[in-house]
Amino acid sequence: MKTVVIGVIGADVHAVGNKIIDYVLSENGYNVVNIGVLSSQEDFINAAIETDAKAILISSLYGHGEIDCRFMREQCEEAGLDKVKLYVGGNIVVGKQDFNDVEKRFKKMGFDRVYPPGVKIEQALVDLKEDIGI
Amino acid sequence: MKTVVIGVIGADVHAVGNKIIDYVLSENGYNVVNIGVLSSQEDFINAAIETDAKAILISSLYGHGEIDCRFMREQCEEAGLDKVKLYVGGNIVVGKQDFNDVEKRFKKMGFDRVYPPGVKIEQALVDLKEDIGI
Amino acid sequence: MVKNEKLTMEEFLRIRKEILQGWPTGSHPALELDEAVKRLKSVPPHKNFALKLRKAKEQGVTLIQPRAGVARLDEHIELLQYLEKEGRADFLPSTIDSYTRHNRYENAEDGIRESDKQGRSLLNGFPAVNHGVDGCTKVYKNINVPIQARHGTPDARLLSEIICASMWTSNEGGGISYNIPYAKTIGLEDTIKYWQYVDRLVGYYYEQGIELNREPYGPLTGTLVPPSISNTVAIIESILAAEQGVKNITVGYGQGGNVVQDIAALKALEEQTNHYLKLFGYEDIFITTVFHQWMGGFPSNESDAMGLISFASTVAALGNATKMITKTTHESQGVPTKEANAQGLRASKMVVNLLKGQRMPDSKEIEEEINQIKKEVDSLIHAVVKAGKGDIAQGAVNAFKRGLIDIPFAPSEMNNGKVLPARDIEGKIRILELGCLAFTDEIKEFHHQKLAERAKIQNRKISIQMTIDDIYAISEGVLVGTEKG
Amino acid sequence: MVKNEKLTMEEFLRIRKEILQGWPTGSHPALELDEAVKRLKSVPPHKNFALKLRKAKEQGVTLIQPRAGVARLDEHIELLQYLEKEGRADFLPSTIDSYTRHNRYENAEDGIRESDKQGRSLLNGFPAVNHGVDGCTKVYKNINVPIQARHGTPDARLLSEIICASMWTSNEGGGISYNIPYAKTIGLEDTIKYWQYVDRLVGYYYEQGIELNREPYGPLTGTLVPPSISNTVAIIESILAAEQGVKNITVGYGQGGNVVQDIAALKALEEQTNHYLKLFGYEDIFITTVFHQWMGGFPSNESDAMGLISFASTVAALGNATKMITKTTHESQGVPTKEANAQGLRASKMVVNLLKGQRMPDSKEIEEEINQIKKEVDSLIHAVVKAGKGDIAQGAVNAFKRGLIDIPFAPSEMNNGKVLPARDIEGKIRILELGCLAFTDEIKEFHHQKLAERAKIQNRKISIQMTIDDIYAISEGVLVGTEKG
Ligand code: B12
Ligand code: B12
């Protein structure tokens, strides 16, 4: 059973999607470590180290995702998490923006997968299976 | 008291605006000759000749205005109506079009005043006063 | 004198022969009745208007349909496909252009030619007669939902023949509703006869085992029409259709703006249509209702228009209409683009979907308004029957002549044209000038009271200015007009 | 232990001194109370939130207000002016950014700086504390309608001081409603105290002859919150505010989607808030209601969103809410552009204008739903009072601890987090998993019955999957979720 860390980054309290992600990934055979809302980069990284997680799924809904995610990849590497997959999804920037641009920005920041608003976790399951198996 | 001919041109049966125009112009001191809906260019011209009208106010709502109004100015001239003012208003072309273009096209056809959708007759009174007095 | 009597087959065939000669496309082989029957029998249930309506009624849902039509065949097909896919339309229309409506097929031909030349539609609709059976069949084949002709044609006999043979399974119109609001000098007797023919054609197909839908056109002039007047016309046309053998009828009503009155009108319409059909001896007619989103002058701002469209959808769903005709954000400007049309559809669809199964609860207020409308309709129908000495067709002709029925703002000279509607203070449509309307004194007094109340609250006189203010009101974003200072 | 007792002036001033030191902008001279009073007294009635609400209530109209806020001052002013002019907003907001909500003024400062650099807002709202009294006063001066701070700030004491001194005449929030849905580890006792302070400030100004409006935040997590739960929180917060001297309170409710339930909830909310305030001895409190357009996940298609927005407006108007908070077509995507925001406002305005004076008629069905909601609220309030041995503040803290009140999907660890809502077959929000909710057995049975009915009709089990399907449902264009095959 593969472990994934999920949570909502920054000063973000959007809890609904997080609860659903927890439920759906668990139902689909993952060991889900849910650090919940209002989580810092350190919280994600510590949880991933402690549980030997194969992927970190960051949610950001409230718009500050771009600020909150800066240097996340670098922090992971510094902490020795150099193989962990980094996913980000939700409403990760402020406002309705062209998603191609947004994806590029986040990929450049070192994220492996970037999801546009409204992509349900059910749809991302395929990618997760492909990237880390079950 | 100045006479104006009003009516709705072509196969157009939109009667509501026509009835209001009749009422408002009459209330404002014009002698209104209303030839009603489904009127041809000849109907307008004949009415104008018979009543010595100073202006012809053509309504076209249903979209065929551009076809129905072709050569109206020429027909007027042929009938000896060379001083009559020609107004057109309503929804005079098919679809939502840039009104500047539309106005140009109708002015080129010899219309003196061209009105966009939604201009109420109350607003056109000023022009009429300026052009032919009361 | 026209009578409410079923056309004999002989008579029908005699007229038919003549009709088909009205334009070259009338000679298409598919217009052999046997051939047309064969074609119609090939229509699968999901593309049959009548059957899809039966299903919708059973499920209690409100389905949606746009208006749409352009001059050129391929562009028209593309438009309809777009509305089906992007707009999620449950039914598709072909709105017919105004030349065709006046049987001016030469003008329509010109329009097509000119449109081809300019690469854009110069006609305000689809010239179905000119495109003929081949064109109309191509339209039918390229969509996946039932299709209907929507027009405003006093004499739609040739048009109706062509669309039926092209497997279009519904046709809008009626001898009154496609005359009084859509013509000026055509006799009512004539148009009733024309539409008896159209209904007889549908009746004929029914005898061959094919159920087609007919839809009397409800909103009439679309402008402050009091519900009892439009409901009365719908009931008369239903009876006329039933006599000719039509079995599947959709009666229509155009949104007035007051929620209580609109829902009451829809209920009264359905109940009284059923009631009067039975009373006149037509037992097995299947009745559904169609609600038209606001038919009068629209606001020009597109968000305002979206608000109005969605508000109308709420009323249609809560009022349990089986079908709703949608408007678009371009309404005040001109024939909509396909995108604007689809947007109106989607917003409407969203609302009726969310309201699936939700109904306006029964209440005393609605009950009272239903009773008021029914009383008025009874009064009008009574007068019509009397004016026809028992015959509803004759009665209709005479009633219009004498102004016993009178449709506000209609262009037709067959209409008395004396009635002036205005809203009461709640926005319900009442009648300010009653003309010769066949109302009882009690009803007349009711209307007067209601407008006196408004006059008092608005501190103004009861006058035609009220009517004018009300005509402008919705496009200016209010329901009840007020005097401008 | 926190108690529902008015802060003494002494205590208030002591805390105040501390609070104002939280960030450099707290030292602005306008934050001298005398100076602030003088400023607030200069606010003309049409820019006073409390007074404009009184007038609206009297006239029976529904006024509209957007959410809006960006990082940079001038851009924020431009945004508000646009919404006033193009959107016809009756009230303006300043939605505060999330860093400020968590008192992270350094982060907010960063955000402003970064936004300046990039020339676009990188914050999700207006950082009012950082902009301080000068910035906020500039906002106030550049608009012509009342303005309110809208946020989600557990400790909004400094923020509240600054906005009041800047002549913002309303403030949203409460010790429960701005904690449980907006925080994770902050104690409920603490936030109730923080908000007692905010209310005391408003009470202080009232003593100086200045009426300000306060608005407990109604929709909570915005996600399938059963009306009785949100109404209970609103009532508790109203009592807490009244004790501190607040006189003008707007209680809120977020659209659920079933028209009958929504209108019943609004009525029950107003009646029970008034009832309980009197019962607890607060006599002269002026209560209005605010209806929030759908607060859960929005559809991504913009026409769908317009449909939903306008449908919500219909309900707000028919339900006679005094105010409505509007959404936009960008809701599912991100903070809206000013254009999108204005479009949502205009569509909403159109609908409430057309419905001016129109009401949902009284009916048995609505009456029954009102009674159901009231019964549930009574049951919850009873438990709260008991849990606090008569003190509602203590009671609230204990009730949340024991799960007697429990808000679905809330992030806070102070919340029991056991309750799972789901819709019944009509789309009314019921409770599937009751957790420790303080409901009588009769009420519990009612909810179970309703969901059993849905399970039977949908041929599925009562399970959390219902809840999940319902969470997705509206954004997918239906009200009641169904199992995907
Ligand atoms: C009511 C209405 C109808 C009623 C008309 C009833 C009747 N017999 O009068 C019915 C339902 C029957 C109808 C039918 C049709 N209609 Co129609 N109708 C409307 C609607 C909704 C309102 C018109 C109205 O009464 N407005 C209120 C009056 C007071 O305003 P008005 O007519 O604009 O007139 C005022 C001003 O424009 C101005 N004015 C008018 N003429 C002139 C002239 C001058 C010189 C001046 C200065 C001012 C002026 O002053 C008037 C008074 O203030 C409009 C759309 C809209 N505006 O919202 C569509 C509209 C006009 N119809 C349209 C169409 C296409 C049709 C139909 C072909 C098809 C259909 N959709 O069913 C048929 C055509 C029938 C025919 N042969 O003519 C289109 C025209 C499209 C275009 N131009 O691109 C419109 C714009 C709707 C749309 N967007 O598709 N319609
Ligand atoms: C409900 C809601 C709230 C509730 C949240 C209650 C709670 N505590 O959970 C309340 C009302 C409290 C709230 C508050 C705020 N909100 Co809010 N909120 C929403 C709303 C309407 C729905 C969110 C939701 O629950 N959706 C349903 C769930 C199931 O979907 P989801 O969250 O999107 O998650 C799914 C997918 O995105 C995906 N997913 C999510 N994360 C990830 C990660 C990965 C790796 C993958 C693969 C997939 C994935 O899977 C999830 C399950 O399928 C959205 C707009 C919308 N979507 O319609 C706005 C929205 C997210 N909120 C927004 C904002 C700005 C705020 C506020 C700042 C201000 C405000 N408007 O009041 C505060 C912020 C508070 C804070 N500090 O965080 C903005 C964000 C703007 C932006 N990004 O540009 C939005 C987009 C609205 C808007 N357009 O302005 N909000």
* pLDDT, tens only, D116-173: 999 999 999 999 999 999 999 999 999 999 999 999 999 999 999 999 999 999 999 9
Tell me the percentage of chain D whose pLDDT exceeds 70.
100
pLDDT at residue C485, rounded to an integer: 47
Q: Which of C354, C374, C408 delimits the end of a domain?
A: C354
Name residues 138-177 of chain D within 8 A of A (Cβ).
152
Question: Ligand nearest B22 Cα, by number?
Answer: 1
CB contact at 8 A, C297 and C333: no
Max CA pair span of chain B: 37
Hey, is C324 helix, strand or coil? strand
Residue D199 CA to residue C364 CA, distance in Å, equals 43
- Residues whose beta carbon lies within 6 Å of some atom of ligand 2: A 11-17, 20-21, 57, 59, 61-63, 87-91, 94-95, 115, 119-121, 124; D 67, 95, 98, 101, 124-125, 152, 181-182, 221-223, 295-298, 330-332, 334-335, 409, 411, 471
CATH number, domain at C422? 3.90.970.10
D57 and D147 fall within a common domain:
yes
Hey, is D209 helix, strand or coil? coil
Residue D9 CA to residue C355 CA, distance in Å, equals 52
- Exposure string over C210-226, b if 16+ CB within 10 A, otherwise e: bbbbbbbbbbbbbbbbb
Q: Which CATH number applies to A3-132?
A: 3.40.50.280
Is D365 inside any structural domain? no
| C105 CB neighbour count, 10 Å cutoff | 18
Hey, is C147 helix, strand or coil? strand
The one catalytic residue among D161, D172, D270, D369: D172
**Calculated CA dihedral for residues D176, D180, D183, D185, nearest 10 degrees:** 100
Q: Which of D325, D354, D383 delimits the end of a domain?
A: D354
C349 and C454 fall within a common domain:
no
Assigned token pair, A65: 């995702």
Secondary-structure percent of chain D, ordered helix, strand, coil, rounded to 5:
50, 10, 40
- Residues whose beta carbon lies within 6 Å of some atom of ligand 1: B 11-17, 20-21, 57, 59, 61-63, 87-91, 94-95, 115, 119-121, 124; C 67, 95, 98, 101, 124-125, 152, 181-182, 221-223, 295-298, 330-335, 409, 411, 471
Domain range enclosing D442: 418-485
Q: Which of D334, D354, D374 delimits the end of a domain?
A: D354
Q: pLDDT band at D13, cuts 50/70/90?
A: very high
Number of compact structural domains in chain C = 2
Question: Ligand nearest D230 Cα, by number?
Answer: 2
pLDDT tens per residue across span D313-371: 999 999 999 999 999 999 999 999 999 999 999 999 999 999 999 999 999 999 999 99
* C-alpha of residue D332 to centroid of ligand 2, in Å: 8
Is D408 inside any structural domain? no
Name residues 408-447 of chain D within 8 A of C (Cβ).
425-427
Residue D310 CA to residue D480 CA, distance in Å, equals 19
Is D27 inside any structural domain? yes
Is C178 inside any structural domain? yes
Q: Is the dihedral angle over the CA atoms A105, A109, A112, A115 positive or is it negative?
A: negative
Chain B closest-CA separation from residue C60 CA (Å): 35
Cross-chain Cβ contact C411/B13 below 8 Å: yes
Assess whether pLDDT exceeds 50 at residue D434: yes
The model's pTM is 0.97
Residue C27 CA to residue D425 CA, distance in Å, equals 55
D328 and D424 fall within a common domain:
no
D260 and D185 fall within a common domain:
yes
Assigned token pair, C182: 């859509």
Is D198 inside any structural domain? yes
Decide if D101 is catalytic: yes
pLDDT < 70 positions in chain A: none
Assess whether pLDDT exceeds 80 at residue D485: no
Is D359 inside any structural domain? no
D323 and D220 fall within a common domain:
yes
C184 vs B contacts (CB less than 8 Å): 13, 36-38
Is C362 inside any structural domain? no
Three-state SS string across D142-157, please?
A: CCCCCEEEECCCCCCH
List chain A domain ranges: 3-132
D424 and D346 fall within a common domain:
no
Q: Residue A100: in which H helix or E strand, if any?
A: helix A99-108
Neighbours of chain A (3+ CB pairs under 8 A): D
- Our measurement of the distance from residue C91's CA atom to the centroid of its chain's CA atoms, rounded to an integer in Å, reads 15
Residue C100 CA to residue C80 CA, distance in Å, equals 20
Burial (CB count within 10 angstroms: exposed 0-12, middle 13-18, buried 19+), residue A130? exposed
Indicate the residue type of B36. G
Cross-chain Cβ contact A11/D475 below 8 Å: no
Q: pLDDT band at D288, cuts 50/70/90?
A: very high
Is C367 inside any structural domain? no
D476 and D347 fall within a common domain:
no
pLDDT at residue C41, rounded to an integer: 98
Q: In 3D, which of A51, A116, A41 has the Cα closest to residue A86?
A: A41
Cross-chain Cβ contact D299/C344 below 8 Å: no
pLDDT < 50 positions in chain B: none
Chain C closest-CA separation from residue D63 CA (Å): 14
CATH number, domain at C227? 3.20.20.240
Assess whether pLDDT exceeds 80 at residue D484: no
Per-10-residue mean pLDDT of chain C, 485 residues long, equals 97 98 98 98 98 98 98 98 98 97 96 94 96 98 98 98 98 98 98 98 98 98 98 98 98 98 98 98 97 98 98 98 98 97 98 97 98 98 98 98 98 97 98 98 98 97 96 96 78
Cross-chain Cβ contact C307/D310 below 8 Å: yes
pLDDT at residue D483, rounded to an integer: 84
User: A78-82 long-range CB contacts below 8 Å, 24 or more apart?
Assistant: A79/A45, A79/A49, A80/A49, A81/A45, A81/A48, A81/A49
